Chain A
Amino acid sequence: MAMFILRRVGIMILTALCLTFIVFFLTNLYPNLEKLAKTQGDFRMSDEEVASYLGRNGYLQPMPVKYGQWLGVVPGFVIDDRDGVTRGQCIPPDTDPKDAPRFCGILQGDWGYSTVFREDVGKILSDKLVLTGRLMFWVMVLMVPSALILGILAGMREGSRTDRTLSTFAITTTATPEYVSGVLFIAVFASTAVGLKWFKGTATAAMDAPDFENFFLPVLTIALYGMGYIARMTRASMAEVMTAQYIRTARLKGVSFSNIVMKHALRNALIAPFTVIMLQFPWLLNGVVIVETLFNYKGFGWTLVQAAGNNDIELLLGVSVISVIVVLVTQLISDIGYVFLNPRISVR
C-alpha cells in the first residue's frame, strides 16, 4: 500500500509539472505579455517600449528558464538596469540586492504579485481558498448524504413509486442550472416577491461571519445541482446490484430486506458513485463561479474569473497550480478509497 501511494505521488508530481508548464506556456505567450506591458505601463507604448519593458522585467528569457525561475529551481533573474539600479525577480524594491535570496519561486513560497489586486498572490489564494473551502465543506455535508440516501432509496426497489418520484426529483435538480435555481431561491426565500424573507439574498456578509441565514442559499443552490447527478449514479448502481445473484442468495438465506440493503448491497453499490463524488471537488472549486457571483461571495472561482479577465498572469498561474493539486489529490483519495471499497482491486 505504501509503495502504491508513493508511486502515485510520484506520478502526481510529474503530472502537476506537465500541467503547470502548459498553463505557464500559454499564459506567457507574447500577445499576453504585450497586453501585460501595456496595462502596467501605458496603452500607447510603442513596440520597442514594450520589448524593453518586458526585457527589464525578465519576460523575454527562454520559456524553460522562466518556468524554472517561477518554480524556484533556477535562480531568479538579475539585471543591471540603465539607471544603475540592480533589479531582479527576487529583489524587493528598497532592498539591497546582496541581501536578497537567489531563488524565489513557488517552492520558496513566493507565488508572485497580483497586478489586479495589488497584493501577494499567496495571500490572495489562501484567503479565497478558506472562503471557498467553507462553501465546499457545507455543500458536501448537505449534498453527499442526501444524494446517497436519495439514490439508494430510489435504486433499492427499481420501478416502484418511490423510485419514480425520487428520480424525477433528481433529474429536475440536475436539469436546472444554478443561475436558474439560484435566482428562484432568491426570489422565493429572500425577496418581497413571495414574502418569505427567511434567508438573505446575498452572501457578502458570510465572508466574515457566516451563519445559517446568509449562507444557506448558496450552499443549497450548489448542492441541489450536484446532488441530482450523484443520486442518479447511485440509483443506477444500486438498481444493478439489487438484481445481482448474490442479492438473491441473501434473500433466499432469509435476510430481511433492510439488512440486504444495508449489509449486502450498500458497499457494492457505493463503488461507482464514489469516483463521481470525488470528481465533484474540482468542480466545486472552479465551477461555483456562477453561484459565487450571484450571491456576491468572493471566493476562489470569482478570483479565477478576475485573474483571467484582467490578464493577471501570476494570479492565474497560482489558481491553476491549486486547481491541479486539488484534482490530483482527490483522484488519489478516490483511488485509495476504491481499494478499500472493492476488495477485488488489490495494490502491491
Chain B
Amino acid sequence: MAKLDYDGPILEIENLSISFFTRLREIPAVMDFSVTVQPGEAVGLVGESGCGKSTVALGVMQDLGVNGRIVGGSVRFKGRDLGQMSAAELRDIRGNEIAMIYQEPMASLNPAMRIGKQLIEVPMIHEGISESEAWARALEVVRDVKLPDPERIMRSYPHQLSGGQQQRIVIAMALMSKPSLLILDEPTTALDVTVEAAVVELVKDLGKKYGTSMLFISHNLGLVLETCDRICVMYSGEAVETGSIKDVFDKMQHPYTQALFRSIPLPGADKNTRPLKAIPGNFPLPHERPEGCNFGPRCDYFQAGLCDVGDIPMAGVKGDDRHFTRCLRFAEIDWNAPIEAMTQHASAAPGNVVLKMENLKKYYEVAANALFGGSSGKKVVKANETLSFEARESETLAIVGESGCGKSTFAKVLMGLETATEGQILLDNRSIEQVPIETRDTQTVADVQMVFQNPFDTLNPSMTVGRQIIRALEVFGIGDSDQARRDEMLRLLDLVKLPREFAERMPRQLSGGQKQRVGIARAFAGGARIVVADEPVSALDVSVQAAVTDLLMEIQRKQKTTLLFISHDLSIVRYLSDRVMVMYLGHVVELGTTDQVFSPPYHPYTEALLSAVPIADTRITKKHIVLEGDVPSAMNPPPGCPFQTRCRWKAQVPGNLCDREVPPVRELVPGHQVKCHLSQEMFDQMEPVITVAAE
C-alpha cells in the first residue's frame, strides 16, 4: 500500500479516554489524555507502573483486547481517525505506518520461526514484494541495526541470540517498512545498562536516518532526556505535564513532576547530607482515585476546597512552547524554593571488619549437554575468580556489574546456598565458605541475611504477613513464647514503617514497596549483622525506590548493619554506598571508595558503565562511550584480561599484554584497587565521564 503524503502532525491524540470493563465495574485506565507528535519528533511518555502509559500505546494501535474500549476522544494518525477504521485498514497501518518495539524482546519474537522469516513478512504483507526482494531488504536493515554476520542471524531462531541482539531484531522488524511512527514501550528495561546505551544510541541514529517520529514510553527520566525532544508526564491515568524536555526538566510546573525528580538519586544527592525525598503515600488504585486532583492526597501544595473538587483541566504555561500542566496552583507555587531540608545524618564511621573474603573462587561444572548425558566432556563456568575484600560494621559496600558478572553467585556462596571452590570467607574470623546453609548454626544464619530482588515472588502467597515474620523469628530462635514473638513481629513492622494491621494481611493485598518492606523486616528479624540486598529496589517504581532505600539506610544506621548492596544501577549506588566493587565476568575489576570509583582514574569498564547510565539532569554532560558487542559467555571467557574484547583502551597497552595475561591487582591510591594493564600515565590522562555544568 502506498503511504499517505501528509505534512501535518503525525499523531494527534485528543482527550483520549480508555476504560477496561470487568464484571464488577468500569476501570478507567486513561482519562482525558492529549498529545501531539510532529514529524521527526520524539515524544517521551513517563510515569510509574499503572499510570496508563502502555495503555495509551495500545490505544494508538487500537489493540486493547476484549475488555478495553476507547470511551472518549480520538486518535488521529496523519489526520485520519484510527477509531473509525475497519479492521483491514488498521492492518494496513500496523507494521507499515506505525510500528512498535516491546519491553521483552524474547517474548515478542516467535520462538518457532526463523528471524529472517519474521522480518521479511512485514514488507511482503504491506508492499507485496517478492520473497527475495524482502530478504535483501531485511539483510540491509539487520546490517543497519549493527548486528554481526546478518546472514547467519537471519537463519537463526530467537533463542540463539542474546537479549541485546533480540532487541535489535525487534527494532529491525519495526523499521522494515520504514514507518512514520515508532512506538517504543520500555524498549530497554530488560537489558543491561551498557547494552541499553547501545540500543538507545541505535534508535536515536535510526530515527534520524529514517526520519521516523517516536513515542517513547519509559519510567526512566534519564533515558527520556537522552532520546526525546518533548516529554509527557503521566500520573494515574492522566497527563499531568507536557512540554519540551528543557522546560519540563528545568522549569517544571507540576508538583508530581517535582516530587518525581526529588525522589531519584541525581549526582549531588547523598544519603547523609542530601537525602532523597520520597513521595508520601501510595499510588491510588484506578477505582479509588480521589475527587479533583489525582495527586492531591500526596501533594505538598494541596489546598482543601480547591484541589479536591471537580475535574482539573490542562493549563498552558505562558512563555513556553506547548508547555501544559494539570495543576490549579502552578502560578502561585514558588518553583525555585529550595528543597525543604530533610533530616541530615552524621555519616557513621565504619567499625571493625566483620566479613572478609580471601581469594574466593566458585567454579561450576556444567555437562555439555545436561539432557542427554555428557560423553562430550564437561565445561567449567568460572563464576567467581579470586574475590578478595573486607566489609566493616555499618558500612555499605556496593557490588556493581551487569548480568552474568558473578555478583549473584557470590551472594549465594556467602549465604551458604553454594559452597566455595577455593578461598575463604571469614565471618568474625570463622571460615564459613564450606558450610552449606543446612549445617550452619542458627546464629550464623540469622547474622547473614538477604533481601531479594523480586518482592512479588519471595513471600508465601498463602500465609499472612505477620505469620511469615513470626516464622522467621521461630527459625532464628527469638522469643520464648508466642506472645513474645508476636510483640517482636509488631516491633519489626514498626521498624519497617508498616501499619500494625498489616500483620493480618495476605501478600497479594500489599503493593510492591510494601512487600519489599516485609522482606526487609524478615531479613532483620534475627538481628542480622550482614544483609545482602540483591537489587532490592530495581523491581519497584522510582517514587517507592527512594522510600525503601531510605528505610534500609535508617535500619542500617540504627543496627550498625553491614550492607552488601548488589545493583546494576550506578545512580543509586553512588547515592548510598561507602565503597564500590565493580565486577566483570567473575573478576573484581575495581574496588574503592565511592568517590574513588566515580572519579578518574577509572577501570575502562567502570568508565563505560558510568557513561552508559542515563542521568535525568540537563546540566550533566557525559562522555560518550558505547561498548560494542555483548558480555562474553562465562563458559568460554576470552584469554587474558576478561574485558579485552570490548575495551577501548586496549590499544594503549603495549605488546598484546591484554590478550595474554590476566592483569594483576594494582593499588592506585590506598584503598583503591584496579585490575588493569594500563600504565600510570594512561590512568593520569583519564578525564571524568560525567561533568556538571556550572549553574
Contacts and interface: CB of A to CB of B under 8 A. Distances in A.
Interface in A319-348: 341-344, 347-348
Nearest to A244: B107
Contacts of B31: none
Given A253-B125, A344-B157, A344-B159, A246 B110 contact: yes
B109 A252 contact: no
Interface in A1-51: 4, 7
A343 B117 CA distance: 14
B92 interface: yes
A246 B376 contact: no
Contacts of B368: 348
Contacts of A342: 111-112
Contacts of A250: 110, 121
Q: Which of A4, A7, A245, A271 has the most CB of B within 10 A?
A: A245
Contacts of A253: 94-95, 99, 121-122, 125, 173
A256 B108 contact: no
A159 interface: yes
Interface in A253-304: 253-256, 263-264, 267-268, 271
Given A343-B111, A348-B376, A252 B61 contact: yes
Q: What is the size category of the interface that chain A forms with chain B?
A: 20 to 34
Contacts of A95: none
Interface in B123-157: 125-126, 157
A254 B96 contact: yes
Q: What is the size category of the interface that chain B forms with chain A?
A: 20 to 34
Nearest to A7: B372
Nearest to B119: A253
B668 interface: no
B524 interface: no
Contacts of B111: 246, 268, 342-344
Nearest to B103: A245
Nearest to A256: B91
B100 interface: yes
Given A347-B372, A348-B369, A348-B376, A249 B125 contact: no
B109 A249 contact: yes
Interface in B151-203: 157, 159, 170, 173
A200 to B, nearest CB: 45
B628 interface: no
A251 interface: yes
A256 B96 CA distance: 13
A248 interface: yes
21 contacts: A7-B372, A7-B373, A244-B107, A245-B102, A245-B108, A246-B108, A246-B110, A249-B100, A249-B108, A249-B109, A251-B94, A252-B61, A252-B94, A252-B100, A253-B121, A253-B125, A255-B91, A256-B91, A271-B112, A343-B112, A348-B376
Interface of B: 61, 63, 66, 91-96, 99-100, 102, 104, 107-113, 121-122, 125-126, 157, 159, 170, 173, 368-369, 372-373, 376
Interface of A: 4, 7, 159, 244-246, 248-256, 263-264, 267-268, 271, 341-344, 347-348
Given A7-B373, A252-B100, 12 more contacts: A7-B372, A248-B102, A248-B108, A249-B108, A249-B110, A252-B63, A253-B99, A253-B121, A254-B95, A263-B113, A343-B159, A344-B157
